[in-house]
Structure 1
Amino acid sequence: MDSFEALLATLLGVVPGALYTWELEKQAGAWGVNLSDRVLRFLGVSVLFHLALAPLTWWLAQQGRHGPLRPDTSPWLLWPVIAIYALVPAALGHAVGVAARRRRPWTRWLTGPAPAPRAWDQVFSHQGSMWLRIRLKDPGGGDNGWFAGAFAPARRGPHSYASGFPHDQDIYLAETVEVDPASGRIRLVDGRPKFRGVGVLMRWEEIAYAEVMSVEGE
């Protein structure tokens, strides 16, 4: 086996898992603790992928020896075969990542029962909207140390966003509402929260605790 064949074999061995992991983390979050964990993940996926495609791999090898993929012919048939090794794992990783973000139960067979490394990521990795009532460590901030807002798409400007692992925890609330400075409860006008018309950006180091409520809450 020459150096080119060795390189091709190596790429075919690791690329499927790497593409799967790349697409999965684009959708569900880069939750590999470190580089070694990520390498083990895509190597494991590559093994499973090659087990599933072992008949195709054997056929490809035979075609390279005795069929239309011989070195002295134009390997046009190689293109769709290589596309299978590249596109199928990428599409699978994308599908699993989207399903994991949407909390589909079957994804636990592939991501584990608790793929998020922190409770922070578990709360903010899904697509639903929610209310947050935040108690700041500094009572001089907000309304006597209270902030409340909607973690939801903004009507104008940037949407709400929370950083993910492994980056430092910070959060942006696109919409904030008025609260009672004494209790921190959200003020209601005709049964609806009164919006302040401004967003807020804060770091987790500034927060003592945060209450998480569904959009049907206060």
Structure 2
Amino acid sequence: MPLPSTVPQLLLIVVALLPGITYQLVREHGRGPVPAETETGHRILRALTASVVLDSLYFAVLGTHLVELLRPASYPARTRDAALHALLLLFALPALGAALLSWRERRTLRGRYRPTPTAWDHVFRDRGASFVRVRLKDGTWVGGWFGSGSYATSYPQPPELYLQSTWRMAPDGSFVARVDGTSGLYVRAEDIDILELLEPPSRASPRPDGA
């Protein structure tokens, strides 16, 4: 597709895209990302759909007044008027509409919606230091310490976990002793059967299982 070569063509593209982009960004901020919108193509399609709806409403309400503002002959005499309309129609109204829709959804949904996209993100977001015990799908127990040097990926990246220290585990899943000479433990969520977080032990119980 050729690039716009005139001011009217550029204005037309801006009018066509910006309302939907603004609406989409505010909606994502209010409800959090959803799996259906992980692909860029889907997000662009939703933004274009929102732009078509909003632009149709604008022209239905403002009609010839909006057409006059888009004509090159109206510049520079009506530059300020056009800028105010652009701020209102391209940013303020789409953002307000998205915010109101998100607010209405939160009030009507039976369960409280959290913008955190997955349980994995909810568990590890703002997570303090703790021991982590993992049973893999093959029945093997692994575990370690999740501290300031550890890391958990977040959506939309695949769930993965890095524990900064590794512990030797007993067959029943209890912690035995820290493994020296290692740089940590890497675990993929797709290999996990059960994951458990244990609160940091007290000084009286230096072992993670309190023994």
1:134 aligned partner = 134
Structure 1 Cα separation of the partners of residues 46 and 155 of structure 2: 19
- Conserved in 1, the CA contact under 8 Å of 2:133 and 2:141? no
1:5 aligned partner = 8
Structure 1 Cα separation of the partners of residues 98 and 149 of structure 2: 28
How many pairs are equivalent?
A: 182
How large is the Cα RMSD of the aligned pairs?
5.2
Structure 2 Cα separation of the partners of residues 39 and 52 of structure 1: 20
1:183 aligned partner = 172
- Conserved in 2, the CA contact under 8 Å of 1:17 and 1:42? yes
2:142 aligned partner = 146
Tell me the CA shift for residue 76 of structure 1. Answer: 0.9
Letter in structure 2 aligned against 1:146 = V
1:193 aligned partner = none
Larger radius of gyration: 2
Q: What TM-score comes out, normalization by structure 2 length?
A: 0.54
Query: Aligned residues: percent identity?
Result: 18
Question: Structure 1 stretch 75-84 or stretch 28-37: which is displaced more?
Answer: 28-37
1:190 aligned partner = none
Q: How does 1:98-177 map to 2 (within 5 A)?
A: 106=106, 122-126=118-122, 133-136=133-136, 145-147=141-143, 156=148, 160-165=151-156, 167-172=157-162
Tell me the CA shift for residue 81 of structure 1. Answer: 1.8
Q: How does 1:21-100 map to 2 (within 5 A)?
A: 21-25=24-28, 28-29=32-33, 31=35, 32-51=37-56, 53-54=58-59, 57-58=62-63, 60-61=65-66, 64=69, 70-71=74-75, 73-88=77-92, 91=95
- Distance change in 2, residues 1:138/1:16 (3 Å): same
Structure 1 Cα separation of the partners of residues 19 and 49 of structure 2: 10
| Structure 2 gap segments, 5+ residues each | 177-182, 200-208
- Conserved in 2, the CA contact under 8 Å of 1:18 and 1:42? yes
2:202 aligned partner = none
Q: What TM-score comes out, normalization by structure 1 length?
A: 0.53
Tell me the CA shift for residue 36 of structure 1. Answer: 2.9
Asked if 1:203 is matched to 2:188, the reply is yes
- Conserved in 1, the CA contact under 8 Å of 2:166 and 2:185? no
1:192 aligned partner = none
- Conserved in 2, the CA contact under 8 Å of 1:19 and 1:89? no
SS of the counterpart of 1:16? Answer: helix
SS of the counterpart of 1:163? Answer: coil
Tell me the CA shift for residue 43 of structure 1. Answer: 1.4
SS of the counterpart of 2:54? Answer: helix
Tell me the CA shift for residue 39 of structure 1. Answer: 2.1
- Conserved in 1, the CA contact under 8 Å of 2:19 and 2:51? yes
